[in-house]
């Protein structure tokens, strides 16, 4: 029996006994599943976390998105982010995803996701943009950041102040 199967049995046993897993338990299990490329199962585990508690799910979501990004599974990460229930805080998760997309040169995907955020999370858009712009100062590729910022500036999604990457 594989390690994730053993953890799955323990996880299921906890639920049978009425013991709710904490954020660390969910996160550890999801990370293990992502490392084994069991993304659908990881999504099922995440869904259990938000059915349990939106606060726990917010913590778990950031770790889930980070694990997907580290595996290079950006399409799955985008899908998760576009389907997160509205009661789950996801600002940090958007920033993690956007930063990883930019760092690996998936600028078009980052732009599409920013457009999605603007359309679907308009009340959080400015906060996400501010945090994302600040995170770019540690980006691995100035070329990717420049391309992203030029596009965002041309679409008036950012102003001249943001183009200076955190200079006030």
Same domain flag for 36 and 105: no
Tell me what pLDDT residue 165 has. 44
Same domain flag for 49 and 108: no
Provide mean pLDDT across the span 7-20.
Answer: 84
Asked which of 61, 83, 105 is the last residue of a domain, the reply is: 83
Q: Which two tokens stand for residue 49?
A: 């976390």
Tell me what pLDDT residue 159 has. 66
Tell me what pLDDT residue 153 has. 85
Same domain flag for 156 and 132: yes
Distance CA 76, CA 79 (A): 5
Asked which of 67, 83, 99 is the last residue of a domain, the reply is: 83
pLDDT above 50 for 168: no
39-86 pLDDT, tens digit per residue, is 999 999 999 999 999 999 999 999 999 999 999 999 999 999 999 988
Provide mean pLDDT across the span 128-144.
Answer: 90
Give the torsion sign (CA, 57, 58, 59, 64): positive
At what angle are helices 91-103 and 54-70 packed, to 10 degrees?
10
Tell me what pLDDT residue 160 has. 54
Domain membership of residue 139 as a residue range: 90-168
Which own/partner contact pairs does 151-160 have at CB distance under 8 Å and 24+ positions apart?
Answer: 151/107, 151/111, 152/111, 152/114, 157/114, 157/118, 157/129, 158/129, 158/133
Asked which of 30, 61, 83 is the last residue of a domain, the reply is: 83
Same domain flag for 101 and 34: no
Integer CA distances (angstroms), 150 to 69, 100, 112, 154, in order: 24, 18, 15, 6
- For the chain, what is the mean pLDDT? 88
How many domains does one find in the chain? 2
Tell me what pLDDT residue 157 has. 73
Same domain flag for 23 and 59: yes
Same domain flag for 73 and 119: no
φ, ψ at 86 (rounded to 5°): -65, -20
Same domain flag for 77 and 94: no
85-131 pLDDT, tens digit per residue, is 888 889 999 999 999 999 999 999 999 999 999 999 989 999 999 99
26-42 pLDDT, tens digit per residue, is 999 999 999 999 999 99
CATH number at residue 27: 1.25.40
- 102 against 13, higher pLDDT: 102
């Amino acid at each position: 029996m594989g390690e994730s199967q053993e953890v799955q049995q323990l996880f299921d046993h906890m639920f049978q006994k009425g013991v709710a897993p904490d954020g660390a338990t969910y996160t550890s299990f999801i990370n293990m599943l992502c490392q084994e490329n069991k993304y659908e199962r990881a999504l099922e585990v995440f869904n259990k976390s938000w059915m349990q508690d939106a606060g726990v799910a917010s913590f778990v979501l950031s770790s889930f998105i980070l694990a997907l990004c580290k595996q290079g599974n950006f399409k799955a990460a985008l899908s998760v982010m576009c389907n997160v229930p509205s009661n789950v805080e996801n600002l940090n998760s958007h920033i993690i995803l956007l930063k990883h997309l930019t760092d690996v040169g998936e600028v078009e995907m980052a732009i599409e996701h920013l457009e999605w955020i603007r359309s679907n999370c308009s009340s959080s858009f400015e906060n996400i943009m501010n945090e994302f712009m600040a995170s770019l100062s540690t980006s691995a590729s100035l070329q990717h950041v420049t391309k992203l910022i030029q596009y965002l500036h041309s679409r008036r999604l950012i102003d001249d102040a943001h183009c200076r990457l955190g200079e006030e």
